[in-house]
Amino acid sequence: MLLRDVRPEDLDEFFLHQQDEQANLMSAFAPRNPRDRGVFDYHWAHLLGDEDTIVRTIEHEGRAVGALVCTQQDGVGELSFWTAQDYWGLGLTTAAVDRFLEEHPARPLRAHVPEDNVGSVKVLSRRGFETVGEEKVFSNARAEVITELVMELPAAD
């Protein structure tokens, strides 16, 4: 697994990942129309153009299999990640999160995760993230309100 800067050609892979309905349901968050390339390109241009946002490609065997993003929310890092369904269960997401945490030691660090996304909750919990709250939010992918866990990796004492 390689965690690297995003290359322009990665965006085509990310757009294909976004077409996976099961993965969208698992993550719970998707644009209203995941097939709209214009909305996708606008979103990614914003992420890549924001100097306060860290965006990395998760690469496996030469292929872009996912992305890891850390935005800033009220001065605190907000971590999110996506791995293509064909690569679930291989430890790639775990390795990517571990690498990110090694390279970016700023804490606290938060993540918002649908409570039923067991894989992501497990990855974060095993890295020391604790559930510090819950929020009810609307999921476009599920067309309903869901419970999202607010997880935080606290600053070292």
Q: What is the tens place of the pLDDT at every residue in 94-136?
A: 999 999 999 999 999 999 999 999 999 999 999 999 999 999 9
C-alpha 99/C-alpha 93 separation (Å) is 10
The edge-to-edge listing of strands for the beta sheet with 2-5 is 2-5, 54-60, 63-73, 76-83, 109-114, 144-153, 130-139
Per-residue pLDDT tens over the stretch 1-34: 999 999 999 999 999 988 877 766 666 667 677 7
**51-64 core/surface letters (b: 16 or more CB in 10 A; e: else):** eeebbbbbbbeeeb
76-83 and 63-73 strand pairing: antiparallel
Phi-psi region of 128 (alpha: psi -120 to 50; beta: other; left: phi over 0): left
Per-residue pLDDT tens over the stretch 47-75: 999 999 999 999 999 999 999 999 999 99
Q: List, in order of start, the domains of the chain with CATH numbers.
A: 2-153 (3.40.630.30)
